[in-house]
Structure 1
Amino acid sequence: MTFAHPAALGLLALAIPILLLHVLKPRREQRTVSSTFLWESVAHPVSAARPWQRLRPSVLLLLQLLAVALLALAVADPVSITDTPLSAHTVFIVDASGSMAARDGEPNRLESAKDRAAQLRDELPDGGIASIVVVDDSPRVVLTASPDPDAFAAALGPLEPTAGPADWADAFLLAESLETAGAEIGFHILTDGGLTDAEQRLIPPGSRHDIIGRDATNRAITRLAVEPRGSGLHVRVTVANTGGAAATTTVRVDVDGVTAGDGTAEVALDAGETRDVEFDVGGGDRVEAFLEGDDLLDADDHAYATAARRPALTVLLCTAGGVGNAFLEGAFAAADGVTVEACDGSRPGTGADLVVYDRVAVPAEPGAPFLAIAPPGGVPAAGVTTTGAVDGPVITSVDPDAALTQGLDLSEVGIATAQVLDPGPATTVVGAAGAPLLVRGSMSGLPFAVLAFAVEDSNLPLQVAFPILVDRLLTDLGGAALPPTDLVVGEPLPVDTNAGGTVAGPGGSTSEVVAGGPTPTATRPGFWSITPRAAADGTERPVRVVAVNPDPNESRLEPAQAILTPTRTRQEGEAPATGESSLRHWLLLPLLAILVLEWFFAWRRRGVSRAQWRVSTALRIACAALVVLALVAPSWLRPADRVAVVFLVDGSASLGATGRSEAVGFVRESLDRMPDGAVAGVASFGGNARLELTIQPDARFTDPSARIDSTRTNLATALRLAGAVLPGDARRRIVVVSDGRATDG
């Protein structure tokens, strides 16, 4: 044990005047009495010839000396010394990604992480300061270098888990940028794991970590895909058992808020199994899938997708002699809103949404997206040529990720004869050994597909996959592609920032997007409505609805056993950090009790005038009030009277050598003119941002030395860094010295 303020032990000298008061002769009040006969039997004399008397021990004297001793000890603040792994400035890096909402904490993992952070905060070394970096899809600093435990608790309190991923790279960059002069910095990570090997290599050296979470039981909807199928919709729900034992769960599909007639199914999942559940439902605009059952994470039990109705399409079907094709016409008739026009031979499809060249030559300028079926000689203008023919080709490869073939079963398709295509720059989607059968490409900005065989030369029209493939060709080639359904939390919304507009998120929240401003990101799952600003001529642009889902990677809840953190080499002569736990509170309550007892005994032996007694009582009350205030530990907030400035210097290549020199000169001149009491720092930025000079008084800047990515200009990252390092007890200012050409953020 030691004392935080040993000089305060000098207060023990207050015992001297107390002892003097007990040996000095009290000044008696003179009263006229009729006789002193009855006082003659008193053992002690009522008068003294000397101004002092012999010190006599008493309970009152003992209480007063004990009060002085406790007061001196309390002001000296006895502390117990303990070893601590925390640094003088500890940055707490708190994971708030989707998996931290798992309910195997108190009540979830993030709350457990916050409780653990609060415990660790109490173990800081004497005079230690703490910062907090929150890690989600957009990392941010919520507390900067604060010695105040109440400010630490207030910063932790509002944190909530998101449904998005954790951007660890940006989080570690922010954390390392919080270095303060004169205080050794350390980092403590609170997470359930999930860092990739590349992310673990970015962990600051010497970091420590706590793994949060203990269970992994979870079932999740990892994907919801919707495509038009005739007059209705075909919905595919991908369900995964991401942790725990085998289980049976119920999947439900709603269209525009109403459960579809055949929109419910039970799914049995083995441990680690993933299954697709398919539904054919009526038409609508908004599709939702729900997973019922008890698991640890709620966010991934609800998925969203948009299914805007396909606009009317005109298809030009070109055949030899204009005889048509019954198989193709039947498939087109089953698709909603498709009008088929016949064409004799080959001609450009100007005005049509899609042209189908069925065994006829493709013009050099087709004039519209097209599907070529066994075209004689291929499509030379698009780089697709024929090198011969093959009999009885067997499908051996299907691109599972291609929009045209995803989930299609083509294993039963038999083909009599097919062209041997050289796809050139086009992509093979379906192929046989040495013979591409379906290729997809682009020609003069127009999408196209080439089928190497005539549909009549195969059993494809008899397969379930045929109308689906035709429907997808209409959607993919005809320009009727639906809005994306796989946008996840944390990704940018498809907003035209050149025009601006209004974004309405789930729950009714709205925000304005200023023309030329940054692209907003999706911050929560649900349906987002984007209303572009009207055109210059007053024409209203259509509202677009997009679906945003939780990040499927956050559905894997098994906590990591550990994460790899690089070790930090201790500098020569550097002493290990220690923590101090104050014992003052054990002294203040007894001191308060002794003051009350002392007043009671003094009242019983009162031998002074009424005025003197009132003064002494007032002094005792003041002492007791001070003790109570010490227990309460009040704080006084005063307005900031100093200015803190961070200069952000653009270090991208677009500034050029001359511009960079002028920027550095401006910063130097500004630092030289700083008023007294002001503090400043300097950071350079390009694709990333790094501190050149920490926040300090009398800052002096020479030349930029931090290594940054000069090929890009990410102003958002630079502003986040500046906001992170600015102290909270000052009037904060950020000065950007740049050419204004931001390429990112």
Structure 2
Amino acid sequence: MQFQSLGALLWFIPVAGFIILLYLLKVRRREVRVPAKFLFPAITTDVRANALFQKLRPNLLLFLQLLAALLLLTALARPMMQAKGLPGQSVIVVDTSASMRATDVSPSRLDAAKNRLRRFVQELNPGEQLAIIEAGAQVRVLASLTSDKQKLLSAIQQIRPTDTAGALDEALRLAAALVGKSNESRIVLLSDGAFPPVSDFSAGSAKLVFESLGASRDNLAITAMDVQERGGGLEWFVGVRNYGEQRKQAVLEFYAGDKLIDARAVTVEGGQTVGQTLTARQLPEPLEARLKVDDALETDNRAFRVGVLQKPVRVLLVGEGNFFLERALALEPNVKLEKSPSVPDSERGERVGGSNYELIIFDRVAPVPVRARAVMVIKAPGGPIAALGQPVRAPRVVLWEREHPLMRYLELGSLLIDSAPRITPAPWAKPLAESQQTPLIVAGEHQGRRWVGIGWDLLESDFPLQPAFPIFIANLLRWAVGELQTATDLTVRTGAPFNLAVDPAETELTLRDPDGNTRAFPVNEGAVVIPGLERVGVHTLQGRKTEIRLAANLMHADESNIQPRTSIQLGGKSIAAQNTLTTLRDLWKPIALALLALLMVEWWVFVKRS
């Protein structure tokens, strides 16, 4: 038991002394002669009790009054007792990301979280309130602060799993906005902790509690799949990673148009990745790689690909020429490259659209307004590079965004750069690779156009000679161009928003997911925005004149690494997981009720004796 105002109990000594002093005061009485004392036993007892040195003989009224004083001072001391449950206002954030589908906890981690949430509701006391927030690819408030148990149980039924990463940062900030101003509130996160650190977060006055779910890390996952045209055929690569510690064996199956065309046994050591490449003639789509293995997470055992045979990507290289850049672009079979010392007049313009090129690259040439949907700038001010400053000698890459589509599968730790100017990114541009002194690669989207900026001269580094360079160019083409092509099949990551240019005559498109569920999306000026696909598999986007297949894959390291975290990083602090939630229950109210009952008993005893 704890006391908020322990000093109040110290007042019992003077208060008790004052009550006893009142009993010690001599009472004046009128003397009356009686024939015998035994005829008046009550008076005899009272006289004996009120004698100066007989005062402290047992006296029920004195005991009751001292006990009442003790109860009053105890209530003023605000006693609190630790108990299971939640305080007055609590927000429960439920992680519904892909890793919560893991079945190492029966029937799944998400079902275990929902059962825990039901217990919270059942233990809810009168006057206490709960709110429920679902943290999937998008954050949903399923129930605002309420004490209505039926409403809360109904909200729990709405919780559904996804095949995406979870927006835990956004969900936690929303929870803090709801109860962060009260020091008697609590934010409870039900999750396995499979998400990156959240730096810019504060729970305010609320206490944050992390309950970790899960029991195992054993999981095999398809972490990469790429299909390229080579010599009139296809090269189909699939990467498989073992996130557990023990060696795992599995069968990797290759499907084309729902038909099994090959199956291979793979053995993957703990913490390692293996790759398999299939060479074949043209294959019917969709292409699917499927792992047959007994592990805890099924979602990342399948990967899909559509849109292998894309329309040619037209690229304009503006500048004096760059042999290494031209060679890397030539490795992409769908690229049609043109070179020019300057931008043709037909390509100039502020508005996006009507360009003959999907991508324009300004190599050491200041960019001018163009109609193309994607632009890359190399060592020149403009676009995502607001300004170039003094040069930095031999900058080393110390940080890069591995999960960004542009930087996927890149290893830049050994990159050597002779010199790079300090660059100031535009307000809307995000650094993707940084040295200790300056950003080196930045990217962003502005006014409907995608921009990439490289701050140094490629010829003043060994980047064009590294294996990462052609991968970077392939990523550039997919990121800057792939999601902006007109009405073509597309492969995306689950949960990632993207937009498509479609027939301007379309007003609405219907998206059908692999489970058969449908959603409608409006078309504005020939463009449709999809906030993200929540299921792994092939989706279909249909309209009056449009039918587009969309293949969605998980391929997310944080989600496939299902090891339950024992702590998480929030706001620069480490929050340890705990399995039992306790709170301090205030006891002054029941003590006050006991005091009231005691005073009624004391009054009854006094009246009876009188």
State the TM-score, normalized to the length of structure 1.
0.44
Q: Name the aligned partner's letter for residue 221 of structure 2.
A: A
- 1:84-142 superposed Cα distances (whole Å, 9 cap, x missing partner): 634697868373523433223332234444445556666555x6888572533224129
Q: Name the aligned partner's letter for residue 588 of structure 2.
A: G
Q: Larger Cα Rg: Structure 1 or Structure 2?
A: 1
Distance in 1, matches of 2:239 and 2:174, equals 32
Distance in 1, matches of 2:475 and 2:123, equals 61
Distance in 2, matches of 1:280 and 1:235, equals 6
In 2, are the aligned partners of 1:291 and 1:302 still within 8 Å (CA)?
yes
- State the SS of the aligned residue for 1:553: helix
- 1:413-464 superposed Cα distances (whole Å, 9 cap, x missing partner): 99xxx997768679999999x9x99999999979688995889x99979x98
Q: Give the structure 1 partner of residue 60 of structure 2.
A: none
Q: Give the structure 1 partner of residue 535 of structure 2.
A: 524
Q: 1:308 to 1:442 in 2, by over 3 A?
A: same
Please say if 1:136 is aligned against 2:135: yes
Distance in 1, matches of 2:361 and 2:211, equals 61
Deviation of 1:268 after TM superposition, in Å, equals: 1.3
Deviation of 1:293 after TM superposition, in Å, equals: 1.5
Q: 1:86 to 1:118 in 2, by over 3 A?
A: same
Q: Give the structure 2 partner of residue 297 of structure 1.
A: 297
Distance in 1, matches of 2:299 and 2:406, equals 30
Identity %: 20
- State the SS of the aligned residue for 1:141: strand
Q: 1:108 to 1:296 in 2, by over 3 A?
A: same
Q: 1:448 to 1:299 in 2, by over 3 A?
A: closer
Please say if 1:545 is aligned against 2:550: yes
Q: Name the aligned partner's letter for residue 94 of structure 2.
A: D
Distance in 2, matches of 1:168 and 1:454, equals 45
Deviation of 1:296 after TM superposition, in Å, equals: 1.6
- 1:566-597 superposed Cα distances (whole Å, 9 cap, x missing partner): 986665824499xxxxxxxxxxxxxxxxxxxx
Distance in 1, matches of 2:82 and 2:464, equals 75
Distance in 2, matches of 1:502 and 1:249, equals 39
Distance in 2, matches of 1:364 and 1:566, equals 58
Q: Give the structure 2 partner of residue 503 of structure 1.
A: 510
In 2, are the aligned partners of 1:228 and 1:234 still within 8 Å (CA)?
yes
Distance in 2, matches of 1:520 and 1:431, equals 29
Q: Name the aligned partner's letter for residue 268 of structure 1.
A: V
Deviation of 1:237 after TM superposition, in Å, equals: 4.8
Q: 1:202 to 1:160 in 2, by over 3 A?
A: same
In 2, are the aligned partners of 1:529 and 1:543 still within 8 Å (CA)?
yes
In 2, are the aligned partners of 1:226 and 1:306 still within 8 Å (CA)?
no
Unpaired runs of 5+ residues, structure 1, are 1-81, 180-184, 535-539, 578-745
In 2, are the aligned partners of 1:88 and 1:124 still within 8 Å (CA)?
no
Distance in 1, matches of 2:458 and 2:158, equals 62
Distance in 1, matches of 2:122 and 2:265, equals 52
Q: Give the structure 1 partner of residue 96 of structure 2.
A: 97
Deviation of 1:297 after TM superposition, in Å, equals: 1.9
Further displaced range: 101-110 or 441-450: 441-450
- 1:638-659 superposed Cα distances (whole Å, 9 cap, x missing partner): xxxxxxxxxxxxxxxxxxxxxx
Q: Name the aligned partner's letter for residue 247 of structure 1.
A: K
Q: 1:284 to 1:448 in 2, by over 3 A?
A: farther
Q: 1:202 to 1:250 in 2, by over 3 A?
A: farther
Please say if 1:242 is aligned against 2:225: no
Counterpart of 2:520 (choices 512, 517, 527) is 512
In 2, are the aligned partners of 1:143 and 1:152 still within 8 Å (CA)?
no
- State the SS of the aligned residue for 2:100: helix
Residues 19-418 of structure 1 aligned to structure 2 (within 5 Å): 85-86=84-85, 93=92, 95=94, 97-98=96-97, 99-116=99-116, 133=132, 135-137=134-136, 138-141=140-143, 144-146=146-148, 156=156, 159-164=159-164, 165=166, 166=168, 168-169=171-172, 172=175, 176=179, 189=188, 191-194=190-193, 202=203, 205=206, 211-221=212-222, 223-224=223-224, 226=226, 228-230=228-230, 237=238, 239-258=240-259, 264=264, 266-271=266-271, 273=272, 286-313=286-313, 335-338=332-335, 348=344, 350=346, 353=357, 401=402, 407=409
Deviation of 1:473 after TM superposition, in Å, equals: 6.8
- 1:234-261 superposed Cα distances (whole Å, 9 cap, x missing partner): 6665544334534344444545545565
Distance in 1, matches of 2:398 and 2:187, equals 49
- 1:671-716 superposed Cα distances (whole Å, 9 cap, x missing partner): xxxxxxxxxxxxxxxxxxxxxxxxxxxxxxxxxxxxxxxxxxxxxx
Distance in 2, matches of 1:440 and 1:171, equals 28
In 2, are the aligned partners of 1:169 and 1:199 still within 8 Å (CA)?
no
Which structure's relative contact order is higher, taking Cα pairs within 8 Å and 6+ residues apart? Answer: 2
Q: Name the aligned partner's letter for residue 310 of structure 1.
A: Q
Deviation of 1:279 after TM superposition, in Å, equals: 6.0
Distance in 2, matches of 1:117 and 1:364, equals 55
Distance in 2, matches of 1:104 and 1:333, equals 47
Residues 624-663 of structure 1 aligned to structure 2 (within 5 Å): none
Distance in 1, matches of 2:209 and 2:172, equals 17
Deviation of 1:190 after TM superposition, in Å, equals: 7.7
- State the SS of the aligned residue for 1:508: coil
Q: 1:405 to 1:259 in 2, by over 3 A?
A: farther
Q: 1:143 to 1:428 in 2, by over 3 A?
A: closer
Q: Name the aligned partner's letter for residue 105 of structure 2.
A: G
Further displaced range: 200-209 or 505-514: 200-209
In 2, are the aligned partners of 1:304 and 1:547 still within 8 Å (CA)?
yes
Distance in 1, matches of 2:179 and 2:336, equals 62
Q: Give the structure 1 partner of residue 73 of structure 2.
A: none
Deviation of 1:294 after TM superposition, in Å, equals: 1.4
- State the SS of the aligned residue for 1:504: strand
Cα RMSD (Å) of the superposition?
Answer: 6.6
Q: Name the aligned partner's letter for residue 172 of structure 1.
A: A
Q: Name the aligned partner's letter for residue 502 of structure 1.
A: L
- State the SS of the aligned residue for 2:106: coil
Deviation of 1:487 after TM superposition, in Å, equals: 3.6
- 1:351-399 superposed Cα distances (whole Å, 9 cap, x missing partner): 75378999xx97986978799999xxx97999999x99x9xx9999997
Q: 1:140 to 1:283 in 2, by over 3 A?
A: same
- 1:43-100 superposed Cα distances (whole Å, 9 cap, x missing partner): xxxxxxxxxxxxxxxxxxxxxxxxxxxxxxxxxxxxxxx9963469786837352343
Distance in 2, matches of 1:395 and 1:226, equals 30
Q: Give the structure 2 partner of residue 562 of structure 1.
A: 577
Q: 1:333 to 1:147 in 2, by over 3 A?
A: closer
Distance in 2, matches of 1:472 and 1:278, equals 19
- 1:242-290 superposed Cα distances (whole Å, 9 cap, x missing partner): 34534344444545545565x856241324x456666666577645443
- State the SS of the aligned residue for 1:527: strand
Deviation of 1:549 after TM superposition, in Å, equals: 2.9
In 2, are the aligned partners of 1:311 and 1:480 still within 8 Å (CA)?
no
Q: Name the aligned partner's letter for residue 175 of structure 2.
A: F
In 2, are the aligned partners of 1:89 and 1:186 still within 8 Å (CA)?
yes
Please say if 1:573 is aligned against 2:588: yes
State the TM-score, normalized to the length of structure 2.
0.51
Distance in 2, matches of 1:255 and 1:576, equals 74
Deviation of 1:509 after TM superposition, in Å, equals: 1.7
Q: 1:240 to 1:203 in 2, by over 3 A?
A: farther
Distance in 1, matches of 2:117 and 2:452, equals 57
> How many aligned positions are there?
459
Q: 1:227 to 1:357 in 2, by over 3 A?
A: farther
Q: 1:575 to 1:115 in 2, by over 3 A?
A: same
